[in-house]
């Protein structure tokens, strides 16, 4: 079977949205399918100088760009022009998507196109590929119409496009053989809004390879290490956690020299001043960005992993949860009560440390208990592996997705 995977991000890019398409391409290639990946030339935080086809783990990866690197830098230096483009369309991948469609047309014979719905532009693919020899499968990393009904676009031109985008999405899903969802709540919303019939949808949650570093108990150490990996923004706030941490230090002052919170990613984002305001400079560390292998090691050697989600993002399932589960360490989770994450943590036996996303008192209580367990040497034990988040559990399901007549 010929499979073309279209994704805006792919390794060596380190973001979470690059990992799922990589795992699918790797598994399908291992099962004997002809797999070709079409992606952007962004391999870090900016375009790469290499835009040609490369081989990644035996898979042909086409990194396409409508601009040379110099041209990109020229456009990027003129922010007024780029800002104008961003105002006219909800993402910056429109030209790349059209270029990708042109390349797909050159492939002979029937082909299954697995498109990752991250940029909205991906929904235009069926409009440019009319031939019935293209069989579309959409994998929803993000929610489009249902999310924007809950959280409207900020810019007026984007809001004016909302009705058009809803019609576009419904048309694209009518062309698709399957629509794959990582969130069951998002799936239900698409069905209830009449965007896609239930029988065409399938739920394949996020998954991961096992963590090679999570193989043994931790040696006891004097410090309790709490690790957060990811981003903070206006929707996902560290405020409740940090206020809870402050309450713990006030209750048990001696813990200030024995607790270390390491934040990997964008630091505290727009909340950069809150550490100083709460007097947590000696406890909270901004560790910056690290690559994926380093994250696996860091999480496996932490005593506690911090998870913070946004109640506004209930249609999204954070892939970080799965990476935390395979690290086999306790998870301190700040969640909304109706979050799907609660169920997965319960199923995997990691639900002892769930707090409401907006309740610092609950956070302080959980941190106090974790601190006492650490002092007693009880946080060094490795947790059981939970096999239902491992890659090999879902390879047969993907095979069935691609076998759709």
Between 278 and 77, name the one with better pLDDT. Answer: 278
Average pLDDT across the chain, whole number: 91
Cα-to-chain-centroid distance, residue 55 = 24
The reported pTM is 0.91
Share of the chain above pLDDT 70, in %: 92
CB neighbours (10 Å) of residue 350? 23
The phi, psi pair for 42, rounded to 5°, reads -90, 110
The C-alpha atoms of residue 254 and residue 328 are separated, in whole angstroms, by: 28
- Segment 335-358 shows an average pLDDT of 94
pLDDT at 405 over 90: no
Among the ranges given (40-49, 185-194, 267-276, 353-362), the one the predictor scored with the smallest mean pLDDT: 40-49
DSSP secondary structure string, 192-253? Answer: HTTSS-GGGEEE----B---TT-SSPPPP-SSEEEEEEE---SSS-SHHHHHHHHHHHHH-G
pLDDT at 46 over 90: no
pLDDT at 386 over 90: yes
- Segment 30-54 shows an average pLDDT of 75
Cα distances (Å, whole numbers) of residue 74 to 88, 279, 330: 20, 43, 47
Mention the CATH class of domain 2-207+391-402: alpha beta
The C-alpha atoms of residue 141 and residue 10 are separated, in whole angstroms, by: 13
pLDDT digits (tens, 9 = 90+) for 276-301: 999 999 999 999 988 888 999 999 99
**Tokens found for residue 315:** 């249609």
pLDDT-derived band of residue 80, with 50, 70 and 90 as boundaries?
low
pLDDT-derived band of residue 49, with 50, 70 and 90 as boundaries?
very low
| Of 291, 231, 211, the residue nearest 13 (C-alpha) | 291
pLDDT at 12: 87
The reply to whether domains 2-207+391-402 and 224-387 share a CATH topology is: yes
Q: What angle do CA 183, 302, 209 make, to 5 degrees?
A: 45
| Domain range annotation of the chain | 2-207+391-402, 224-387
pLDDT-derived band of residue 52, with 50, 70 and 90 as boundaries?
low
pLDDT-derived band of residue 72, with 50, 70 and 90 as boundaries?
low
pLDDT digits (tens, 9 = 90+) for 91-135: 888 889 999 999 999 999 999 999 999 889 999 999 999 999 999
pLDDT at 282: 93
Mention the CATH class of domain 224-387: alpha beta
Cα-to-chain-centroid distance, residue 172 = 23
pLDDT-derived band of residue 67, with 50, 70 and 90 as boundaries?
low
């Amino acid at each position: 079977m010929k499979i073309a995977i279209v994704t805006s991000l792919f390794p060596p890019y380190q973001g979470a949205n690059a990992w799922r398409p990589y795992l699918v391409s790797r598994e399908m290639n291992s099962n004997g399918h002809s797999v070709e990946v079409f992606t952007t030339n962004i391999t870090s935080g900016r375009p790469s100088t290499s835009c040609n086809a490369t081989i990644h783990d035996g898979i042909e990866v086409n990194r396409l760009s409508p601009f040379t690197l110099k041209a990109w830098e020229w456009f990027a230096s003129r922010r007024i022009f780029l800002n104008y483009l961003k105002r006219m369309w909800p993402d910056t991948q429109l030209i790349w998507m059209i270029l990708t469609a042109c390349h797909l047309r050159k492939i002979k014979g029937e082909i299954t196109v697995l498109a990752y719905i991250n940029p909205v532009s991906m929904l235009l693919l069926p409009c440019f590929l009319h031939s019935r020899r293209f069989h579309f499968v959409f994998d929803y990393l993000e929610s489009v119409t249902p999310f924007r009904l809950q959280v409207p676009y900020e810019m007026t031109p984007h809001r004016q496009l909302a009705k058009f985008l809803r019609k576009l999405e419904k048309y694209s899903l009518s062309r698709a053989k399957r629509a794959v969802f990582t969130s069951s709540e998002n799936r239900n919303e698409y069905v209830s809004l009449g965007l896609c019939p239930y029988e065409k949808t399938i739920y394949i949650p996020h998954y991961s390879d096992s963590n090679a570093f999570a193989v043994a108990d931790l040696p006891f150490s004097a410090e309790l290490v709490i690790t957060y990996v990811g981003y903070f923004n206006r929707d996902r706030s560290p405020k409740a956690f940090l206020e809870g941490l402050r309450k713990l230090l006030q209750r048990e002052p001696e813990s200030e020299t024995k607790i270390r919170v390491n934040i990997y990613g964008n630091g505290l984002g727009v909340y950069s001043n809150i550490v100083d305001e709460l007097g947590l400079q000696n406890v909270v560390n901004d560790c910056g960005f690290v690559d994926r292998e380093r994250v696996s090691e860091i999480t496996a050697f932490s005593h506690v992993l911090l998870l913070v989600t946004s109640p506004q993002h209930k249609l999204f399932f954070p892939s970080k949860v799965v990476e935390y589960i395979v690290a086999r360490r306790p998870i301190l989770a700040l969640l909304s009560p109706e979050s799907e994450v609660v169920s997965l943590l319960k199923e995997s036996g990691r639900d002892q440390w769930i707090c409401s996303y907006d309740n610092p008192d609950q956070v302080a209580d959980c941190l106090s208990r974790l601190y006492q367990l650490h002092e007693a040497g009880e946080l060094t034990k490795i947790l059981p592996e939970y096999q239902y988040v491992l890659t090999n559990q879902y390879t047969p399901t993907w095979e069935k997705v691609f076998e759709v007549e």
